[in-house]
Amino acid sequence: MSSRLLCASPAVFLALALHASSTDANAADASARAQFAELHALIKPRVAEQKWEQIPWLTSLWEARQKAAREGKPILLWEMDGHPLGCT
């Protein structure tokens, strides 16, 4: 095997080197993508932090009035400085 390689033309060595380099780059790229995905998932809200989304919050008090009158229900209004469903 080694003797055959020693006899190989410079073009073959170049091709092998490029292949190895490409393989390394692909591995590095896959690793970077995996690290990114891991970090992205770490920062994003977890399922347990999003239980509030199980409530069908409206964002228009007027629309809530209309729905409440139609359905015969009271209104629960969560009012904050900074939107409770956004940045507060």
Partner 1 sequence: MAREDFIAVAADDWYQRRRQDAEGRFFLGVAEQGPRKGAGGSTRQGIYALTAAGKLLAYRNAGQNPDVMREVITDAHRTWKSLPESERKPGTVQIGDHGPVDARFTRMPPENGLIVRVSARLLDRGADGGFKDAACETGRGDEASRDHLWITEAEWKSLVPASPRAGGKVPVPVGLAARIARFHLVDHTRGEPNFWSAEEVRLNQLSLIMEEVGPTRITFRVEGAVLLTTDADFAKAQRGFDARVSGWLEFDRERKAFTRFDLVAVGDHWGRGTYTGPARPGRTPLGLAFELTEGKSPAERVAPQAARDVSGYFAAGPRN
Q: What type of residue is 57?
A: W
Cβ 77 vs Cβ 64: under 8 Å: yes
Residue 4 in the binding site for partner 1 (CB under 8 A): no
User: Phi/psi at 73 (nearest 5 deg)?
Assistant: -130, 155
Of 5 and 39, which has the nearer Cβ to partner 1?
39
CA dist 57 and 76 (Å) reads: 9
Tell which positions 14-43 bind partner 1, by CB under 8 A: 33, 36, 39-40, 42-43
| One character per residue 50-69, x = contact with partner 1 (rule: CB under 8 A) | ---xxxxxxxxxxxxxxxxx
Least Å from the CB of residue 84 to partner 1:
4
- Only segment of 1-9, 12-20, 78-86 that touches partner 1 (CB under 8 A): 78-86
CA dist 76 and 78 (Å) reads: 7
- Only segment of 3-11, 17-25, 74-82 that touches partner 1 (CB under 8 A): 74-82
